């Protein structure tokens, strides 16, 4: 990570009204560099960058960043919550039932919310959050 990259992370935290700490910068950096990581993996990546960090501190930082819109939390049914740095584009996910692999898939059609329920029940809808379940290429192959 370059110095300017670290500055961007700090600026994003500050711009979202969050206090900038070395731990938070490391956590945000780990989420952005990763691919739908769970909390354990994020804690591991952040510890590689700043040393000791409690799991509780990681949870709290992720909670604050999710609330601030800096990271997105996805919760595929039956698997631990995952976090990603790709926010605000209403993308969806492909999830593997067997190994838990998660992959991004762009908006189903057009712009957010990109699909409409049969009835909106009077709601003003601004997002659709879809998980497509199946088997990833590794799990589909007969040898795997």
Among 57, 101, 112, 114, binds Zn ion (CB under 5 A): 101
Among 40, 75, 89, 104, binds Zn ion (CB under 5 A): 104
DSSP, residue by residue, the chain: --HHHHHHHHHHHHHTTPPP-HHHHHHHHHHHHSSSEEHHHHHHHHHHHHS---HHHHHHHHHHHHHTTSSEEE--TTS--EEES--SS--EEEEETTT--EEEE--SSSSTT-S--S--TT--------EEEE--HHHHSTT-
Under rule CB under 5 A, residue 89 binds Zn ion = no
> Residue 43 or 96: which CB sits closer to Zn ion?
96
> Considering the complex, what minimum distance in angstroms separates the CB of residue 29 from Zn ion?
17
Note the residues at the interface with Zn ion (CB under 5 A): 84, 96, 98-99, 101, 104, 136, 139
């Amino acid at each position: 990570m370059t110095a300017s990259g670290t500055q961007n992370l700090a600026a994003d935290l500050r711009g979202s009204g969050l206090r900038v700490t070395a731990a938070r910068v490391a956590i945000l950096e780990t989420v952005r560099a990763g691919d739908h990581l769970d909390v354990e993996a994020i804690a591991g990546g952040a510890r590689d960058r700043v040393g000791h960090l409690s799991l509780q501190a990681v949870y709290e930082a992720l909670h604050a960043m999710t609330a601030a819109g800096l990271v997105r939390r996805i919760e595929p049914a039956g698997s631990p919550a995952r976090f990603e740095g790709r926010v605000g584009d209403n993308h969806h996910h492909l999830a593997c039932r067997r190994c838990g692999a998660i992959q991004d898939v762009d908006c189903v059609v057009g712009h957010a919310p990109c699909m409409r329920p049969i009835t909106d029940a009077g709601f003003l809808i601004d997002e659709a959050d879809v998980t497509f379940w199946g088997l990833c290429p590794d799990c589909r192959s007969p040898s795997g």
